[in-house]
């Protein structure tokens, strides 16, 4: 059984590797974990000994099938807990990420399967991120960031970045939720800010905000 820290590393490697498809450089990993490169390398070597990752110097680190399964289990728990907190305990969507970061490390498989059926097997969490099923399968979503949409293009919001509470508060204020339709009206060349129509209402999106909104064409 991996430790909390090991689980967090596996999760970070999964996200940085674009769902386990690309090797991750230890420098990128240490940035993501807000630690020194040497500490990240030490942890990677430890994970390699436990067969969670394969690691080659200069090439980077890649999840093994075992590591991938473990990362997806942590992500499943995280997203199910977020859904539970919003749906059943009336947490706001900007409050749940921090709490789920703690709850995702609870090891009881029985508890998480009970929560899954209690919630009627949700497919996505409150931020629109897909929830891996109990076999670790994750549906492939063809999403792009909102700032990649062209002027005049319309799309549906599928997910928003979950870890920034201030961003989520702002998205809540303008009504940018998963499932809502968005159309790009104009974009400023100067700073890539966007004027968009969100469910018929004009909204202004800075580059930073629209980078963190995922859409499906």
Chain residues binding Zn ion by CB under 5 A are 97, 162
Q: Would you give the distance in Å from CA 122 to the centre of its chain?
A: 16
Closest contact distance (angstroms) between CB of 17 and Zn ion is 18
Length of the chain: 217
Cα separation of 74 and 34, whole Å?
Answer: 20
Q: Which is nearer to Zn ion, 75 or 149 (CB)?
A: 75
Closest contact distance (angstroms) between CB of 35 and Zn ion is 20
Q: Which is nearer to Zn ion, 131 or 184 (CB)?
A: 131
Closest contact distance (angstroms) between CB of 201 and Zn ion is 27
Q: Which is nearer to Zn ion, 11 or 97 (CB)?
A: 97
Closest contact distance (angstroms) between CB of 209 and Zn ion is 18
List the structure tokens of 144: 């792009």
Cα separation of 19 and 176, whole Å?
Answer: 25
Q: Which is nearer to Zn ion, 77 or 187 (CB)?
A: 77
Cα separation of 204 and 206, whole Å?
Answer: 7
Helix (H) or strand (E) holding 15: helix 4-16
Cα separation of 170 and 179, whole Å?
Answer: 17
From residue 99, alpha-carbon distances to 14, 76, 86, 134, 176 in Å are 20, 14, 11, 22, 23
Closest contact distance (angstroms) between CB of 112 and Zn ion is 15
Q: Which is nearer to Zn ion, 48 or 99 (CB)?
A: 99
- In the numeric block, the tokens 């905000």 are attached to 209
């Amino acid at each position: 059984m991996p430790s909390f820290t090991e689980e967090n590393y596996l999760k970070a490697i999964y996200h940085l590797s674009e769902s386990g498809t690309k090797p991750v450089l230890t420098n990128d990993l240490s940035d993501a974990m807000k630690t020194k490169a040497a500490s990240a390398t030490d942890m990677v070597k430890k994970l390699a000994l436990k067969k969670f990752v394969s690691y080659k110097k200069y090439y980077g680190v890649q999840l093994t099938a075992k590591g991938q399964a473990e990362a997806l289990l942590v992500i499943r728990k995280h997203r199910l807990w977020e859904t539970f907190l919003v749906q059943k305990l009336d947490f706001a969507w900007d409050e749940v990420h921090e709490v789920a970061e703690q709850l995702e490390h609870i090891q009881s498989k029985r508890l998480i399967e009970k929560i899954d059926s209690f919630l009627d097997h949700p497919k996505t969490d409150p931020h629109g991120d897909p929830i891996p099923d109990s076999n670790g399968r994750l549906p492939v979503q063809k999403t792009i960031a909102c700032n990649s949409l062209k002027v005049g293009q319309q799309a549906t919001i599928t997910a928003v970045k979950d870890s920034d509470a201030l961003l989520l508060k702002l998205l809540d204020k303008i009504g940018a939720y998963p499932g809502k339709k968005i159309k790009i009206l104009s974009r400023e060349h100067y700073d890539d800010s966007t004027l968009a129509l969100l469910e018929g209402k004009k909204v202004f999106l800075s580059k930073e905000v629209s980078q963190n909104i995922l859409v499906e064409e």
